Structure 1
């Protein structure tokens, strides 16, 4: 069976509204780029300041996924007129006495369909992991260690540690695209 590369799922004359459960410009930008990669439709992507209903720095896969799901659901509750709601939550996890970082993306649509994807993971250097273990958010720890300001709305840890080869937008964008798989393959995802 051949699947379409891109699918027009809504009337092309109408802009589809996508609400991202964050005002972080990186999360808004990666969502916009991911939707445009996957669909031919026109999209208007806006960010909302909503709670993840979990701690500021989630630890563990399950907690991070819960935060992303809560951001998408809380966005839908606040702005139910949209067509899609997106939650993106970055987390950390201990693995063999090391700490890795990753993010979850959850996308909901007005028909009740859910798409989920996780980014790849990368290991944090020990000095940053220690700061996170002491109670700092990863972005805060990056800023302190690398003497930056508000890096979580810029290159993020992944951009800093890869010397800009992979910035936070592109890192998250791939997961947005993967979370959209059920929406472009609705004949096999119910």
Structure 2
């Protein structure tokens, strides 16, 4: 089965290309249907679901994957959060999975709480252009141990595994 990825973001597309072995992978710029900076797990998950569904509509007969990065407030501070959704035609609901979360420094958290977007903040903080297309905040704050693509690969594998399980049962 072919797969449509609901973004042209290099890190996210690379994650799907590295994991999807069932057919062709094509990327499409889709809308998330949520704020540019999703806030909270629910909004971030909804963005992934929307991207998966829109992507599937962009590539006839294909399944769709949506990957969305956001931030979520906890009692311990503001964390990055990441969600994925796999929409497979013929299944009632999309498969969903969440990925790694790490706490953001307070100097980044405060602007995010006030409506700023993580990508531009990270570019300024890290002094790196297009950081969201490459290692992302997770790569920057883990000293390169976990890249954004690798983090999303885990989510894609969780999605594929759920789909494989559902096919068997």
Tell me the TM-score normalised to structure 2 length: 0.92
1:97, CA displacement in angstroms?
Answer: 5.2
Q: How many residues align?
A: 167
**How many angstroms apart in 2 are the aligned matches of 1:169 and 1:67?**
18
Partner of 2:67: 88
Partner of 2:55: 75
Determine if contact 1:115/1:181 at 8 Å carries over to the other structure: no
Partner of 1:172: 152
4+ residue runs over 4 A deviation: none
Partner of 2:127: 147
**How many angstroms apart in 2 are the aligned matches of 1:83 and 1:149?**
33
1:27-42 pair list within 5 angstroms: 27-36=12-21, 41=22
Indicate the structure (1 or 2) with the bigger Cα radius of gyration. 1
**How many angstroms apart in 1 are the aligned matches of 2:54 and 2:136?**
24
Where 1:74 maps in the other structure, the secondary structure is helix
**How many angstroms apart in 2 are the aligned matches of 1:149 and 1:139?**
9
Tell me the TM-score normalised to structure 1 length: 0.83
Partner of 2:90: 111
Correspondence 1:138 to 2:118: yes
1:111, CA displacement in angstroms?
Answer: 2.2
Q: Which runs of 5+ in 1 are unaligned?
A: 1-15
Question: CA RMSD for the aligned pairs?
Answer: 1.4
Correspondence 1:100 to 2:67: no
1:102, CA displacement in angstroms?
Answer: 1.4
